[in-house]
Structure 1
């Protein structure tokens, strides 16, 4: 990672979290959802540049049997510089150090992100399993 970028352990501030999700194309979250969700973080890292948070990634779960990698987000103008790989590597290092050997780690790979995750040993679970989701209150519209 370039000297212009600093990797920081810890969850992002609520405002940064909400902004990064939206600008990177992830579904928006309300203030309440962000506040409550960030409290459930097991481990997170952010990347700062010029004094502001420009990328993030988190691990959530029960702390024993199940973990999920979520909120992998990099501001569009900083994409393509290896920041996602650096964030994901830090999350995986933490999981290898803290999760039991029998832990199941899952994630949802949006678009081409699946190629990054595959480099860390993640593979599709289909056809044996299929991921499913439901949004309470309906799927949020992007950009709202």
Structure 2
């Protein structure tokens, strides 16, 4: 990978919306995105040749609970190492900002469980299923 620039905590609402559209996620109002970005703990973006190619975020309370969110790589850049770069930056952030017994969670998209396992993440046990709810 050549001409790579990594930017931390500079993700804009426009870039976030661009990624959501590029990966087929639903639209969220700009004011809501801005509020979310203002409350995140950490974000990282990868640029190649001045074009944003990948992003990731960490949200949570900054003490006990940390959640990896919105790991997105533009489809034309899949399998080129951009996801690994994002996760390495996130793992570095977590190493510096978590404490003993901090909980780091994530919800993996279908088919990418193995990607996160490379970084030490494990599926929840059957008797402790992850759950979620989306407000419409």
Q: Is residue 53 of structure 2 the alignment partner of residue 29 of structure 1?
A: no
Contact 2:53 2:82 in 1 (8 A): no
2:9 maps to what in 1? 10
Work out the number of aligned pairs and report it: 136
Query: Structure 2: how far apart are the matches of 1:131 and 1:49?
Result: 35
RMSD, aligned CA: 1.4
Q: Could you give the per-residue CA deviations for residues 10-38 of structure 1, whole angstroms, max 9, x where no partner exists?
A: 24110110111221234432212211110
Structure 1's unaligned 5+ residue stretches are: 138-144
Query: Structure 1: how far apart are the matches of 2:52 and 2:90?
Result: 17
TM-score by length of 1: 0.87
Q: Could you give the per-residue CA deviations for residues 38-73 of structure 1, whole angstroms, max 9, x where no partner exists?
A: 011111110112323221001110011100000100
Q: Is residue 62 of structure 2 the alignment partner of residue 60 of structure 1?
A: no
Per the alignment, in what secondary structure is the counterpart of residue 126 of structure 2? coil
Contact 2:63 2:102 in 1 (8 A): yes
Query: Structure 2: how far apart are the matches of 1:24 and 1:37?
Result: 19
Q: Is residue 41 of structure 2 the alignment partner of residue 42 of structure 1?
A: yes
Structure 2's unaligned 5+ residue stretches are: none
Per the alignment, in what secondary structure is the counterpart of residue 131 of structure 1? coil
TM-score by length of 2: 0.92
Q: Is residue 73 of structure 2 the alignment partner of residue 96 of structure 1?
A: no
Query: Structure 1: how far apart are the matches of 2:55 and 2:4?
Result: 12
Runs of 4+ with deviation above 3 angstroms: 25-28
1:135 maps to what in 2? 134
1:140 maps to what in 2? none
2:85 maps to what in 1? 86
Larger relative contact order (Cα-Cα within 8 Å, sequence gap ≥ 6)? 1
